[in-house]
Structure 1
């Protein structure tokens, strides 16, 4: 109920600051070819996410096949759009990997946590790398400081998490809850062995975030908004990084408010920002429906509800 109220409130503030007639005109004149490209990019993005997660699961010593990782990732995308949280898909991945594929709760939870941590760190790295160009586009000192702090905080958090593996078999590990973080950090260490796997995961992470930027830029082209790719590379990552905080339903409202704010600070049309954000949200929902279809067709849904015996998933593991 609180998330629903906050989502509605943020959407209200985002809508209040724009010209709705302009938004309507932009949507009415949308270029379908660019829209198709956006959908294709978002589908490919989930595929890359699946490959990255597969590498992490395998580093945790569970033989997850690429097809299975892709299936679970698409289903997770569906739950991200339908559950009242941006981390609903993570919970779905954990449940299905642990129960449906018999990976166990530890491997399932740690692999998803590490996957999320790597994604956030890579996003913070991209935000930090783009700071010189961001400063050129955004003149407001408070906004500059905010983006800098967000990027630095993300990098610092990632480095602290990685360093936790050094405290294995120490007194610190005995603290309540800390041992799980250390165990997850140990999985992250395994991802780096061999180094080529870490490099592969790093490349996948950057491709995932650049796909979000490209999809946003393509949506801007679809509605005829005069926004360059470099500018979108500077604006979108901070928005996505802050929007990962699960305080609204599927990120709605928070994402729109951040987009409007970012575009306004860069001297761009706020109506274009809202239009791009809403259309991207709709495109992600459409792609999520693919995962919904896979979930309905998969026997994993019965297993997840405890309505089918062990044999229900046998075909999934062949």
Structure 2
């Protein structure tokens, strides 16, 4: 019953936020922008999202292999599609990833398969944060381009600094904890290093992660262009990550409502209207949902991934 209430609440929050945005961001105008959206830009966004998904699957395959979990490229892509469609259709945004770890546990156990999924997602978020930080610093250091408001710049720099300090402190202090907790933390850090930072994989991890982040930002920029908002690359590198970060807050279904609210607030900094921001975000959400639909076919054809024996 508690789970049902939680799911219902997430749907209710998403719907409530969208209804509120309809009132304050001129929902009818947003619909007009969507109806008249340029198909070529939407198709470009679909290609970018699909490319991002494939690169993410390859990153998972690489990460898992470092932990002793062997997947073929076809398995990795197929499982990623399946996890994405679950993440898009169900509240929480992580149930598909949990299922991916469970289905891949046969070779190395649930802990290792879970770490492979966690590390892959973590690397993607870290890459997004680093690219965002570099873009914000670049726009701050080079005058004449896009600049965030001073108050928002301060909040961004403080948040990034705090995240770096917390992560560094945890990595240093965690293995020193007494007993099994310290041992488990040390093993976690060792596996993370081996999966992501080992010499034989670090360059591929960097390239795959940069590729996924750039394609994700490009997909959103294409959706904005489809409704008439042309974002310069530097502007997209700053604003789109801020919008995507809101999707990590697990109070709605796949970030719906939160993402639209953030876009309606942030895109006006680039000269758009709130209605255009609302429309761009809805277009992006629909493109992401459509890109995940092959996962429905995967689910229909096969519900269990057979492990590849090393």
Q: TM-score range by the shorter chain?
A: 0.7 to 0.9
Residue 6 (structure 1) aligned with residue 13 (structure 2): yes
Q: Who is 2:137 aligned against?
A: 132
**Partner of 1:86 in structure 2?**
93
CA RMSD of aligned residues (A): 2.4
- Distance change (3 Å), C-alpha of 1:89 and 1:20: same
Structure 2 equivalent of residue 49 of structure 1 = 56
1:227 matched residue in structure 2: 231
Partner of 1:123: 128
Aligned counterparts, 1:1-318, within 5 A? 1-98=8-105, 101-133=106-138, 135=140, 137-160=146-169, 162-163=171-172, 167=175, 170-172=176-178, 174-175=180-181, 179-192=183-196, 194-300=198-304, 314=306, 317=308
User: Could you say what secondary structure the match of 1:247 adopts?
Assistant: coil
Contact 1:19 1:271 in 2 (8 A): yes
Q: Deviations over 1:16-66 (max 9, x none)?
A: 321223212211222212211211111111110011111111111122222
Structure 2: gaps (5+ residues): 1-7
**Deviates most, 191-200 or 213-222:** 191-200
Retained in 1: the 8 A contact 2:92–2:253?
A: yes
Instruction: Give secondary structure in 2 for the equivalent of 1:249.
Output: coil
Matched residues, number: 298
TM-score with structure 1 length normalisation? Answer: 0.84
Identify the residue that residue 308 of structure 1 maps to in structure 2. Answer: none
Match of 1:305 in 2: none
Q: Which runs of 5+ in 1 are unaligned?
A: 301-312
- Distance of 1:225 and 1:188 partners within structure 2: 40
Question: For residue 304 of structure 1, what is the aligned residue in structure 2?
Answer: none
- Cα distance, 1:12–1:156 mapped onto 2, change above 3 Å: farther
Deviation at 1:114, TM superposition (A): 1.3
- Separation (CA, whole Å) in 2 of partners of 1:42 and 1:190: 28
Distance 1:227 1:9, change over 3 A: same
Bigger CA drift: 274-283 or 103-112?
Answer: 103-112
